[in-house]
């Protein structure tokens, strides 16, 4: 047997574990979306700054 093997849960514990797993994945997905939005905003801001600088020169 593997030292860190856990037998499958049954009953309410199984549902609780499933809910926790779904909540964890939802949090991870939201954090990835937020990170992507931040990268997009930063990239857009830098692009606009360069366009503005080119027009000034």
CA–CA separation, 25 and 1 (whole Å): 29
As a whole number of angstroms, the distance between CA 52 and CA 24 comes to 42
pTM of the predicted model, to two decimals? Answer: 0.63
**Percentage of the residues of the chain whose pLDDT score is greater than 70:** 84
Q: Is residue 4 part of a domain?
A: no
pLDDT score of 9: 63
**Tens digits of per-residue pLDDT, 17-43?**
888 999 999 999 999 999 999 999 999
Number of domains into which the chain is organized: 1
End-to-end CA distance of the chain: 71
- Per-position DSSP letters for the chain, written without gaps between them: --TT--PPP-THHHHHHHHHHHHHHHHHHHHHHHHHHHHHHHHHHHHHHHHHHHHH-
17 is a domain residue: yes
Comparing 8 with 26, the larger pLDDT belongs to: 26
Between 56 and 45, the higher pLDDT residue: 45
The residue segments making up the domain with residue 30 are 10-57
């Amino acid at each position: 047997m593997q030292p860190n093997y856990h037998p499958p849960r049954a009953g309410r514990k199984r549902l609780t574990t499933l809910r926790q797993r779904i909540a964890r994945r939802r949090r991870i997905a939201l954090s990835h979306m937020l990170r992507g939005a931040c990268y997009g905003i930063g990239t857009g801001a830098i692009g606009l700054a360069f366009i503005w600088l080119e027009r000034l020169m």
